[in-house]
Amino acid sequence: MANAIINGKSVEFQPGMTILQAARAANIYIPVLCEHPALEIAGACRVCLVEVENNPKLQTACSTPIMDGMVINTNTEKVRTARKAVIELLLIRHPLDCFSCSSNGKCELQAIAYDLGIEKSPFWEEGDTCKDHKLDDSNPFYIRDLNKCILCGRCIRVCDKHSQYHAIDFQNRGIVTAVQPPVGRGLEESDCTFCGQCVAVCPVGALYEKPAVGKGRPWELKTTRTVCTYCGVGCELLVQVNERTGKIANVTSDHTNMDSLNKGRTCVKGRFSWEFVNHPDRLTTPLIKENGEFRKATWDEALDKIADGLKANKGKAGFFSSARCTNEDNYLMQRFAREVMGTNNVDHCGHL
């Protein structure tokens, strides 16, 4: 371990860490926009600038290695002035419709602007705000509002490194630069599988989940870690429940949890196909078929009928298990079939 001084506090760090990594480990806040713990360093946004003693220039905390004996200040007037200029330049084109934005309350740009006391850009002139991009809600999974995109590149990098589909990239140059699929191809015609990794790492409201629209604001949600039920792989998901309504408002994942099996990666089903939970067509009462018609029954009546049916068919029933269950559930099913019911007729729905 080595030592440095950050904001007057002695900080221990592992050699090879960056200033940002050491500061995070010591619970010292440094704002970022292009940086994400799950992605390789880009050093593009310049929001994480810090002052290093005996160095005439401000340094990017995300890409500058921290050295033994370094003296670093993260919140001096010089630093705040530089960060303020960066955010004010970003806000020239970024619309200030925070009140109606789906990311209101969790937007990283909003949080940094609030911390720096910025209400609007002094460089803004009539016509500067980006309004030329049409809201893209053509697919059922997420909505793209490129007018709010700050070109941080997180979505591109997570698509390349995590999903490895390379479906999007920076297209055009200068003021008309935008994150798009290859020229001449729409998102549906690209390699995109709608896994939602780009949505999860977007720091603003340029990408947001379509099933979550209108389900609750960030401050109303309680987050619970759980395991995806769509297959037996065991990916970790974060289920966000609206405490006011008691219903699921969104499902996302944690790219910073390196102990999870998927490390934040998900498929389109795990991230977006959760609306069945509170669907009005979902059965909430057991049904028993009599004379070709279903009638509602109590749980005791239904379970007794199942037990009677199993007893009557011992040794000749077949059992069908599911890939949506855990390995433990499927193991118990085959033991029940063989040891209790006396049959080896056990199958499995590998196709979901």
pLDDT for the residue numbered 352 = 52
pLDDT for the residue numbered 124 = 84
CATH of the domain at 18: 3.10.20.740
CATH of the domain at 274: 2.20.25.90
Same-domain status, 249 and 294: no
Task: Calculate the CA 334 to chain-centre distance.
Answer: 36
The token pair that represents 163 in the structure block:
């999903």
pTM for the whole structure: 0.83
Same-domain status, 186 and 235: no
**For residue 238, with 0-12 CB atoms within 10 Å meaning exposed, 13-18 middle and 19 or more buried, which class applies?**
middle
Cα–Cα distance, 248 to 40 (Å, whole number): 32
Same-domain status, 202 and 137: yes
Cα–Cα distance, 113 to 274 (Å, whole number): 34
Select from 157, 180, 209 the last residue of a domain. 209
Select from 90, 123, 142 the last residue of a domain. 90
Same-domain status, 326 and 225: no
Do the Cβ atoms of 124 and 91 come closer than 8 Å?
A: yes
Same-domain status, 110 and 86: no
Do the Cβ atoms of 148 and 94 come closer than 8 Å?
A: yes
Whether 47 has a pLDDT exceeding 60, the answer reads yes
pLDDT for the residue numbered 325 = 77
Share of the chain above pLDDT 90, in %: 70
pLDDT for the residue numbered 245 = 94
Pairing relationship of beta strands 293-296 and 287-290 according to DSSP bridges: antiparallel
pLDDT for the residue numbered 139 = 85
Same-domain status, 185 and 131: yes
Length of the chain: 352
Whether 187 has a pLDDT exceeding 90, the answer reads no
Select from 178, 209, 240 the last residue of a domain. 209
Range of the domain at 125: 98-209
Same-domain status, 6 and 29: yes
Mean pLDDT of the chain: 91
Same-domain status, 150 and 199: yes
Q: For residue range 75-117, what is the model confidence (pLDDT) as tens digits?
A: 999 999 999 999 999 998 898 989 999 899 999 999 999 999 9
| Count of domains forming the chain | 4
Q: For residue range 245-276, what is the model confidence (pLDDT) as tens digits?
A: 999 999 999 988 889 999 999 999 999 999 98
Q: Is 303 helix (H, G, I), strand (E, B) or coil?
A: helix
Same-domain status, 44 and 108: no
Same-domain status, 266 and 319: no
Do the Cβ atoms of 41 and 35 come closer than 8 Å?
A: yes
CATH of the domain at 121: 3.30.70.20
Same-domain status, 103 and 195: yes
pLDDT for the residue numbered 351 = 59
Q: For residue range 122-165, what is the model confidence (pLDDT) as tens digits?
A: 988 887 777 788 888 888 899 999 999 999 999 999 999 888 88
pLDDT tier for residue 208 given thresholds of 50, 70 and 90:
very high
pLDDT for the residue numbered 132 = 81
Q: Determine the Cα angle at 92 with ends 120 and 78, to 5°.
A: 70
Whether 349 has a pLDDT exceeding 80, the answer reads no
Same-domain status, 232 and 272: yes
- What is the arrangement of strands in the sheet containing 59-60, beginning at the earlier edge strand? 9-13, 2-6, 71-73, 49-52, 59-60
pLDDT tier for residue 336 given thresholds of 50, 70 and 90:
very high
Segment 174-203 shows an average pLDDT of 86
Q: Which string of DSSP letters, residue by residue, matches 37-51?
A: TTS-----S-TTEEE
Rama region for 189: left / alpha / beta (φ>0; ψ in -120 to 50; rest): alpha
Cα–Cα distance, 135 to 102 (Å, whole number): 13
Share of the chain above pLDDT 70, in %: 99
Dihedral of CA atoms 152, 90, 200, 162 in degrees, nearest 10, equals 0
| Cβ partners under 8 Å of residue 166, min gap 6 | 159, 160, 191
State the DSSP code for 105. Answer: T
